[in-house]
Amino acid sequence: MTELRPVTVITGASAGIGVELARVFAREGHALALVARREDRLHALADALAAAGKARPLVIAADLAAPDAVRKIADALRAQGAEPQYMVNNAGFGLVGLADMRPREDELAMIDLNVRALTDLSLAFADSLARHKGGVLNVGSVAGFLPAPGMAVYYATKAYVISFSEALHAELKPRGVRVTVLCPGPVPTEFAEVAGLKKNSAPSLLTVSPERVAEEGYRGLMRGRRIVVPGLANKLITKIVPLVPRSLLLRAAGSRQARRRAAQGT
Ligand SMILES: NC(=O)c1ccc[n+]([C@@H]2O[C@H](COP(=O)([O-])OP(=O)(O)OC[C@H]3O[C@@H](n4cnc5c(N)ncnc54)[C@H](OP(=O)(O)O)[C@@H]3O)[C@@H](O)[C@H]2O)c1
């Protein structure tokens, strides 16, 4: 059997945190496969990395919300003689608004991407991750530590990502596979615009750059950390939130989201 060469697959590599993760993995000498829907952006990033002397990444244009996305990625990798050593599940989006007032298909598409595709991709390549002593880096969020009326489905998807990834960390450890969940607070990317916010209202104390988020995620994965929360203030939030009564949290998170909607005039 011909040996397949190991690559790091990064989803959502056409923007924001995913671009920076691609830069960090490439800098550290990993061969890459970049996945997202906007193929032109993936090619532009692949060209830039190649021009900087790195191996040219494979480009796989795929809508991860589609049911056959994982098969498509597996086929594309095999056709190029590659298989995953690291699986970076970064693609994701959020939507602001009361869940029952929003189009149902948009809320369910969020679950398809943030939960279903992430789960499928975390599990589908376990054998090749083990063969290459690699791992999984799943992008969660500080949002996963609490419920938030006004962004209910997004916060719930991220709670799933944290719970699933922490358990998978324990399950795959005996096979030599690292699993890390990266939980950023606010990061200036296209996320806010996609979520329906005209301006980013995140407090600057909590905001961390996408470059730093990617660096910390990479380092945490390589060190076998279970969870990484970039930024001291965000770390503090994740320690304090479990101690606060749920009713208080719901009130505080709900009024923050309501203020955000009011500021947008929505
Ligand atoms: N920014 C923040 O404040 C923040 C905070 C905490 C956690 N996060 C998490 O960080 C991750 C990256 O977000 P970001 O801030 O970098 O946002 P972003 O700039 O909007 O980038 C999102 C990426 O996901 C990809 N994507 C979206 N839908 C997709 C689909 N159906 N199929 C394939 N790819 C898809 C997008 O590519 P295409 O549109 O080209 O497909 C893009 O590359 C997400 O999981 C997000 O939840 C973000």
- pLDDT (tens place) for every residue of the chain, 266 residues total: 568 999 999 999 999 999 999 999 999 999 999 999 999 999 999 999 999 999 999 999 999 999 999 999 999 999 999 999 999 999 999 999 999 999 999 999 999 999 999 999 999 999 999 999 999 999 999 999 999 999 999 999 999 999 999 999 999 999 999 999 999 999 999 999 999 987 767 889 999 999 999 999 999 999 999 999 999 999 999 999 999 999 999 999 889 888 877 777 66
94 Cα: distance to centroid of ligand 1 (angstroms): 9
CA distances 94 to 103, 140, 177, 195, 236, Å, are: 13, 12, 29, 5, 23
195 Cα: distance to centroid of ligand 1 (angstroms): 10
- The pLDDT of residue 2 is 67
Which run of H or E residues covers position 227? Answer: strand 227-228
- The pLDDT of residue 201 is 74
The enclosing domain of 229 has a CATH number of 3.40.50.720
- The pLDDT of residue 198 is 77
Q: To which residue do tokens 């000498």 refer?
A: 29
Please report, as a single letter, which amino acid is at residue 251: R
Question: Ligand 1 within 6 A of 199 CB?
Answer: no
CA gap 7, 158 in Å, rounded: 26
106 Cα: distance to centroid of ligand 1 (angstroms): 15
DSSP for 77-91 reads HHHTTEEEEEEEE--
- The pLDDT of residue 260 is 79
- Among 86, 154, 155, 160, the active-site one is 154
Nearest atom in ligand 1 to the alpha carbon of residue 109 is: 31
Q: In the structure encoding, which two tokens stand for residue 208, read together?
A: 């961390």
Is there a contact between 87 and 30 (Cβ–Cβ < 8 Å)? no
- The number of CA neighbours under 13 Å toward the Cβ of 193 is 5
CA gap 261, 141 in Å, rounded: 20
Q: What is the pTM of this model?
A: 0.97
Query: Is 86 part of the annotated catalytic residue set?
Result: no
Question: Ligand 1 within 6 A of 78 CB?
Answer: no
Question: Ligand 1 within 6 A of 217 CB?
Answer: no
CA gap 153, 65 in Å, rounded: 16
Range of the domain at 193: 5-264
Is there a contact between 257 and 219 (Cβ–Cβ < 8 Å)? no
The residue ranges of DSSP E strands in 12-134, in sequence order, are: 32-36, 58-61, 82-89
Collect all residues with Cβ–Cβ distance below 8 Å to 257 and sequence separation of at least 6. 96, 148, 149, 150, 151
145 Cα: distance to centroid of ligand 1 (angstroms): 19
Question: Ligand 1 within 6 A of 65 CB?
Answer: yes
Question: Ligand 1 within 6 A of 141 CB?
Answer: yes
- The pLDDT of residue 257 is 82
CA gap 264, 68 in Å, rounded: 36
Q: Nearest CA to 234 among 175, 184, 199?
A: 184
Identify the DSSP state of 134: -
- The pLDDT of residue 266 is 60
| Structural domain count of the chain | 1
Using most ligand atoms within 8 A of CB, pick from 73, 87, 191 the residue to mutate for ligand 1.
191
**Over the range 89-119, which residues count as b (16 or more CB within 10 Å of their CB) and which as e?**
bbbbbbbbbeeeebeeeebebbbbbbbbbbb
- The pLDDT of residue 200 is 67
